[in-house]
Amino acid sequence: MRCSSLLLSMVLWLVPLVALSDTEAGVGRLNFGGHKETTNCTAFLTERGHLVTAAHCLNLPEDAKLHFLERYDRGGWTRHLELLLDWFARDGLKDLAVICQAVPADGGALAVSERPLAVGEQLEVWGYGAPRSHVLQQRTCPLLRASNDGTLVLGCDVSGGTSGAPVLRRKGAGREVVGVVWGTDVARSYAHRLTSELLEHHCGGS
């Protein structure tokens, strides 16, 4: 499935734009431009320098080149990474893909939250969803369920291009990442819980 379509059917919503700030550094658009189509997902950098997105975003030709544009906004960005598919470690069961230490550890990127989640907690999804994929968008979503297998069910839907987006919780004036979006339907979206333990499984202790 291409990144412009999430795994399930969806309704497109107009959502508020986000004023980019140093607090939200690390979120960016993951682009693929082929001969016949151009698609995008969302991806983000953790504070240890790992680049994270959804695994199904990488269902692309083997010679595909991807471009991560950190803090992309209407043609501008703060950092550009050109990537190859085989750089990603993929976990199909969790629909997670990561490039370990894609950049040096950077305190300006997203910290991974280790605090337990609570049903009803207000979380945020930050992504580059259609039809306004040229700007970073925010949805506030209550947590409906956190399953034992790590699946998070959120009480909002999102649009195509949001796959790979971080699910965030507030911490003081900033935010921490708790999950990675992989799908949506009419009234809900779905993510997998992201933990330091899961990242270390793919990246070692780095």
Q: Assess contact for 103 and 45: CB atoms under 8 A.
A: yes
User: What is the rounded CA–CA span in Å between residue 49 and residue 42?
Assistant: 16
Residue 121 located in a structural domain: yes
pLDDT (tens place) for every residue of the chain, 206 residues total? 344 433 333 323 334 444 455 556 899 999 987 655 578 999 999 999 999 999 999 999 888 889 999 999 999 999 999 999 999 999 999 999 999 999 998 767 999 999 999 999 999 999 999 999 999 999 999 999 999 999 999 999 999 999 999 999 999 888 999 999 999 998 999 999 999 999 999 998 65
Q: Assess contact for 181 and 162: CB atoms under 8 A.
A: yes
pTM metric for this prediction? 0.87
Domain holding 124: CATH number? 2.40.10.10
Query: How long, in residues, is the chain?
Result: 206
Domain end, chosen from 94, 109, 124, is at 109
Domain end, chosen from 64, 92, 109, is at 109
Residue 96 located in a structural domain: yes
- Tokens found for residue 31: 């682009």
